[in-house]
Amino acid sequence: MKLLTHNMLTSHVKGVINGYPLLIKATEVKVNEVEFNPQFVSRMIPKLEWSALIQAAEGLGHLQDLPGTPIENYENDAEFLRKVHRVLLEVEVIEGSLQCPESGREFPISKGVPNMLLNEDES
């Protein structure tokens, strides 16, 4: 599970009002090399919940020097975009779980795939 996906994932359990952001509990993390596309990163930045991204990256020990808010004029700052690219697309949670901030319910992550299947009483 990449951090870009994590930034968009939310609990969809019936009755849960605030199922975002899911807390990452990782036991295995991998860093891959992914081709850098500055246009894509730039387009995604306005869609991100930046604080959730920082929190997630920090929790995995991969925050490095990513700032607390996106810098001004980020579209033209390749260095900044590269940092965002790394955190969004290159850091991957392989094993662990995602915990709902409201209910505490955990969604396991196995082989990089989060299991979002709900029980019968949850949907």
Establish if 36 lies at the interface with other proteins (CB under 8 A). no
Establish if 8 lies at the interface with other proteins (CB under 8 A). yes
In whole angstroms, give the CA distance from residue 84 to residue 64: 11
Establish if 51 lies at the interface with other proteins (CB under 8 A). no
How many residues belong to the site for other proteins (CB under 8 A)? 29
Shortest distance, position 1 Cβ to other proteins, whole Å: 6
Establish if 10 lies at the interface with other proteins (CB under 8 A). yes
80/92 with CB nearer other proteins: 92
72/120 with CB nearer other proteins: 120
Binds other proteins (CB under 8 A): choice among 18, 27, 28, 37: 37
Integer angstrom CA distances of residue 82 from 35, 90, 104: 10, 11, 34
Q: List, in order, residues 6 or more apart from 30 with CB less than 8 Å away.
A: 91, 92, 94, 112
Establish if 116 lies at the interface with other proteins (CB under 8 A). yes
In whole angstroms, give the CA distance from residue 118 to residue 75: 39
